[in-house]
Structure 1
């Protein structure tokens, strides 16, 4: 996820602008591919700093980078926000930090592919929760079968890691709901930027504690910063570009393959091999979301 997510940026609840001509669409598709790879590669690079900083330290640095990037883009007017606007922003900040922390801790325990796949159950549940059609019911059954396969009891099963992956899924579902509220109450991307700033402030004591307890190396800090840039700043800006150049259906469908991208990056970049059952489970979750997206006419799960 970009654990800020893999969702449409706050403030973009309206329909995207009409797609540009074919050249613009090609650029948009290339950007989507780059964004997805950037997101998962950033998470993989961030995991290299776990032995020194731990998942908590990496997430803290990532929150700082996200806050700097979003503030530079959106330039939120914090003093002009009313309490009615601040309430969902504060909720978004809390969920944002919890989502990233639970995801990165799950990555540390069960690997990138499985953690991202479990996290993706959050937006999938939001998309299918209010559905009434038979195809949506079948999508839910397929996704549930995939989740059960991933969480089946085995001697080596890390139940805490699986639980953290599911916590990240719950946070992502909450993030989507709060994002919609923030998008309605706060203009543009100012709500996302304000939430990122608050989240960064919340993680300041964590960052200080990590530095004092385990003085970080330059390499570890570099990996954590790279995670923030590749998994937060780049995907966010890429989404702003993409939403103006490709249909909503294409954007939503590409988002649905992020678990597969995460599994491939984990396998190739980190040597986190998966068994046949795990690959089948990931394919089931991706297929369920893809089928549901096509049946819904391309409405993005994270709008």
Structure 2
């Protein structure tokens, strides 16, 4: 009985950690949006990549000199995908708003979960998700197709990020590969950040918001996820992460005053439900 109670308590604490990490991620994205008028998405992403590099390099302590060519190839590919994903996502948030951009980006892991399945339930999930995307991107005078394209690019990058992380995890121990990829991505953004800072008037508030966004969206979720995965099963972790789009819309509403219409809320709810079903079935 004691063991069962301990396991139950561990799962509750794990779920609380996941909720806190997901909320931190979305508050970080909203904080980043506050710095867009001064630094632009590229400047904010540069700062975020630097924060992620510092945190992951400190946590992973990769032995870079021992990496072979077969290990460096997926690490550098992961760095490129990581850098592209964040720039595309933040640019999409700047144009579409937090809730819609995060929901469209979420199609990446959802497509990965449904890929190759011939089960009727999964096919029905795919059709429902496609219908929800149709609602979210329906043509209107205010529809921003560039923003939608950027969000879908971020979705594709997220799917690639997941696949490359698996490869890197098989070839390198611990989080050494992810840490090296974060470091390489941070180096790529050094000239980008310098260019932005030279051509934009810096303010302490904007720079502080960008740094805080990096901490909330990179450092906190990374550490929380590591701790939570020790307490909850992987499929529960995947299903719980499905709430991210809804949290993004709620944070966008509270922090940024962004108000999705009723149909958009329904569509986001459908995508969240579809992803949860897909992850649990695969589990």
Q: Which TM-score bucket, shorter chain as reference? A: over 0.9
Q: Output the CA distance in 2 between the equivalents of 1:154 and 1:125.
A: 26
Residue 257 of structure 1 aligns to a residue in which SS?
A: helix
2:98 is matched with which residue?
Answer: 112
- Measure how far apart 1:24 and its partner are: 2.0
**Among 141, 166, 170, the residue aligned to 1:155:** 141
Q: Output the CA distance in 2 between the equivalents of 1:86 and 1:20.
A: 42
Identify the structure with the greater helix proportion.
2
**Among 162, 173, 196, the residue aligned to 1:210:** 196
Q: Output the CA distance in 1 between the equivalents of 2:235 and 2:191.
A: 41
- Measure how far apart 1:215 and its partner are: 2.9
Equivalent runs, 1:105-184 vs 2, <5 Å: 105-184=91-170
1:60 is matched with which residue?
Answer: 46
1:16 is matched with which residue?
Answer: none
- Residue range with higher mean Cα deviation, 257-266 or 286-295: 286-295
Q: Could you list the per-position Cα deviations for residues 248-268 of structure 1 after superposition, in whole angstroms to 9, with x for gaps in the alignment?
A: 232111101100110110011
Matched, 1:47 2:64: no
Q: Could you list the per-position Cα deviations for residues 225-252 of structure 1 after superposition, in whole angstroms to 9, with x for gaps in the alignment?
A: 0110000010001010000001223211
Q: Output the CA distance in 2 between the equivalents of 1:20 and 1:230.
A: 30
TM-score for the superposition, normalised by structure 2: 0.97
**Among 286, 290, 294, the residue aligned to 2:272:** 286
CA RMSD of aligned residues (A): 1.1
Q: Could you list the per-position Cα deviations for residues 195-250 of structure 1 after superposition, in whole angstroms to 9, with x for gaps in the alignment?
A: 00000000000000011101310000110001100000100010100000012232
1:5 is matched with which residue?
Answer: none
- Measure how far apart 1:22 and its partner are: 2.5
Equivalent runs, 1:31-110 vs 2, <5 Å: 31-110=17-96
Contact between 2:113 and 2:282, CA under 8 Å: does it hold in 1? no
Contact between 1:142 and 1:288, CA under 8 Å: does it hold in 2? yes
1:191 is matched with which residue?
Answer: 177
Unaligned runs of at least 5 residues, structure 2: none
- Measure how far apart 1:178 and its partner are: 0.7
- Residue range with higher mean Cα deviation, 280-289 or 59-68: 280-289
- Measure how far apart 1:20 and its partner are: 6.2
Q: Output the CA distance in 2 between the equivalents of 1:291 and 1:211.
A: 45
Matched, 1:249 2:235: yes
- Measure how far apart 1:284 and its partner are: 1.2
Residue 237 of structure 1 aligns to a residue in which SS?
A: helix
- Measure how far apart 1:296 and its partner are: 2.1
Matched pairs, number: 279
TM-score for the superposition, normalised by structure 1: 0.90
Q: Output the CA distance in 2 between the equivalents of 1:245 and 1:295.
A: 20
Q: Output the CA distance in 2 between the equivalents of 1:83 and 1:187.
A: 16
Contact between 1:20 and 1:245, CA under 8 Å: does it hold in 2? no
- Residue range with higher mean Cα deviation, 86-95 or 27-36: 27-36
Unaligned runs of at least 5 residues, structure 1: 1-18, 298-303
Contact between 1:89 and 1:194, CA under 8 Å: does it hold in 2? yes
2:10 is matched with which residue?
Answer: 24
Q: Output the CA distance in 2 between the equivalents of 1:20 and 1:75.
A: 33
